[in-house]
Amino acid sequence: MNIYKKISVAASILAVAALSSCSDKGYWDEAPSEQAYYFTKASYEATLSPGANEIVIPVERIYTSASETLDVVFTPGTDCPSDISVASPVTFEAGSNTANVVVKIADAVPPFTYTGKLTFKGNESYSGISAVSFNCPVAYTWTSIGKGQFIDAFVMDNAEAMYQVEILKADGFERYRVVEPYKEYYTTIGPASWENWIASTGPEYVEFWENESGTLSFKSYMTGLNYQATSGQPIGAYSWTAFGEDSGYTGDNDIWAEPGYAVLSPVYYINGVGGFGQQKYAVQIALPE
């Protein structure tokens, strides 16, 4: 029995030695001895509020016995605003495997989007994710300013008056949303001249704003009508900017007719079919007094 035990122990020692000495293809020789860094996820997405922002992205390491610094490089994405920076190097405290990379934004302004990528400078990640891409749009903060009025004379050609609607304003900006402006019309009177072309209660909102030239811009939207009642052919109210320069459409008629009273001239169009052209002053919006 004693002889068997001695032989078993000797065989085990030889087996471990054989694994440890494998120099060309052995697993142990290929395991890294250097420090290894890695991000906890490969992408980061968040909606930012206007103003100053900080995006915190954790990075981790394998060995934690001593304090250590790590350089991180930020590469901005296409059209990323320039008021963005990354605090580097980051510091790992002794005994900790986690540090935070802080991406700072000085003054986020909607509707811009901050995009880019974080990587390690001169250090390879052996154990996980070595880069983080992020996409952070800036959103407006909307506040109700009361009841205004709305009419789309092209769609609501049999309406006798404007409809009362809720108006939202973006905090700090001359930007407005008319909430569900077609709903009451579609669910009460209804567009007799459009027969059964109604597909819904209309868009959730119509959004418009004053641009740098002093005229108005608006987001194109679907009116809630379908051409000849076919669900795949919605009639949209498009901004003139959705078309080429040779179309002849302009924003000259998207203006404040008077303070607090906006008039828009959409191009009513069906993709793949054609349209009804640009209708001058078809959409009229009165802000709350």
Q: What is the residue extent of each domain of the chain?
A: 37-137, 142-286
Pairing of strands 142-152, 283-286: antiparallel
Mean pLDDT over 278-282 rounds to 97
Say if CB 221 and CB 191 are below 8 A apart.
no
CA angle at residue 169 from 84 to 205, to 5 degrees? Answer: 100
List pLDDT tens digits, range 226-278: 887 776 789 999 999 999 888 999 999 999 999 999 999 999 999 888 889 99
d(CA 83, CA 89): 19
Q: Is the dihedral of CA 220, 224, 227, 233 positive or negative?
A: positive
Q: Residue 185 pLDDT more than 60?
A: yes
Q: Which of 224, 228, 129, 153 is nearest to 186 (CA)?
A: 224
CA distance 48 to 144: 20
Segment 44-55 mean pLDDT? 94
| Cβ pair 136, 118 in contact under 8 A | no
For residue 81, pLDDT over 70 is answered with yes
**pLDDT score of 114:** 97
Which superfamily does 37-137 belong to? CalX-beta domain (2.60.40.2030)
Is the per-residue pLDDT at 21 higher than 50?
no
pLDDT in tens, 195-215: 667 778 899 999 999 998 999
